[in-house]
Structure formats: C-alpha cells, structure tokens
A and B are shown apart, each in its own frame.
Chain A
C-alpha cells in the first residue's frame, strides 16, 4: 500500500514564524502535491512537484514555498505565517504526470496560526 506520511498532525504557530510541513511517500512516486483545505472551498492546490528539485505553482502559491531535495520528500514552507494561513494542509503523491493516476493523500496537518 502507498503510504504518504505527514510529520505533524497538529501545529500551533505564532504570526511571523517560519513553518515547515514535511511529507514523505514510500512508493517512488514522481509527483507530489500540497493542497490546502478550507470549509466550503474544497481542496486548493498550493504547489506540486513532478521531479526532484522541480516545482510548479498551483492555484494559491502566495505566501508559500516548497522544497523537494529527495524524491520521497516534499516540504511546504510558510516563510512568515499569518492567521489567514490557518487551515488543514494535505500532502499527496501520484505515480507520474500521466492522466488517470490515483492521488494518494496523507492524513493532513492542522495548522493554527495565532
């Protein structure tokens, strides 16, 4: 079974802090994604990566950056956390960039910025 592991389930951070959300997948998938989920808005894509050191902006990249130094690990970085970034963050992976692949999700990281 594919496993996508998000290192932190619940985090509370202060405004202005730098925040790292870590994600690891164990199936040698090429694609990895970071989504943000808010009530009534569904899932919105922040960034995705189709290969090591490669990244593409999603629909809402402002205020975020990502890092993919190794194939299995994809990190989301909030350079200076703000209260409007309080949300649930979902990491996901898929085999490659071809159409029709299932996306496998982690359990989510609940971030509260105070």
Chain B
C-alpha cells in the first residue's frame, strides 16, 4: 500500500526560484526520508528526518515534519537546472517495518534556465 502522497504531482519553476513540495502519510512513523530520481535512473537519498525532529537542513534543502498533521515538506532553495528530477518521500512505519520504506508517487520538478 502507498503510504506517502506527494503534492503537487508536477512543478515547473525557473532557475533561482524556490521549489516546495509536500508529502502526506497515513500511519505513525519512525522517520521520513526524501529521495531524488533523475529521469530513467535509480533513486538517491537526500535527507532523513526523525519523528522527534521538526526541521532539518542540508545544503539548499530544508525539510519540515509535522507529525500531528502527518505531513512533511521539502524546500529546495535557489533552484538550478540540475535540480530537475522527481522527488519522493518515503516513510518508515512504526509497526511491521523491518527497515522497509513506503514511497509516494513523487513530485516531478522541472527547472528551466
């Protein structure tokens, strides 16, 4: 079953602008991760935020987590053409996890020069 759902499904911005995408999930989690996928390639891990954290930064990435709303957001600041990719949130459920992650359908981001 799909745990996370990203919003919007697609996002088109210009270089230098910020890109924000959201993720909602259904059940209680241990942590939430964001991954990036370039077209036709595998996924690459970007950042992890634990359930007891509210905000985390990594370079131009900022992730927030609101466990009361079961939602997270990923902000990419000062976007570049190279940020063009699909972005997925993935959750690690508190029960019956075994280290498995449930992925959403992704947000496709296009950054134009």
Contact = CB atoms under 8 A, between A and B. Distances in A.
Chains A and B are bound partners = yes
Given A42-B2, A108-B40, A108-B42, A103 B101 contact: yes
Contact of B100 (A33, A90, A106): A33
B1 interface: yes
A38 B90 CA distance: 16
Interface residues on B, range: 20 to 34
Interface stretch (B13-21, B56-64, B72-80, B102-110): B102-110
B98 A105 contact: no
Contact of A99 (B40, B42, B92): B92
A40 to B, nearest CB: 6
A4 interface: yes
B105 A41 contact: yes
A101 to B, nearest CB: 5
Contacts of B33: 102-103
Contacts of A48: 98, 100
Nearest to A98: B99
A99 B31 contact: yes
Contacts, number: 69
Interface in A69-106: 90, 92, 94, 96-106
Contacts of A104: 45
B50 interface: yes
Contact of B31 (A40, A43, A92, A100): A100
Interface string B13-41: 00000000000000000110101000011
B85 interface: no
Given A59-B1, A100-B92, A102-B48, A107 B41 contact: yes
A56 B97 CA distance: 12
Nearest to B101: A103
B45 A103 contact: yes
A103 B48 CA distance: 11
A56 B90 CA distance: 19
A31 B99 CA distance: 8
B51 to A, nearest CB: 9
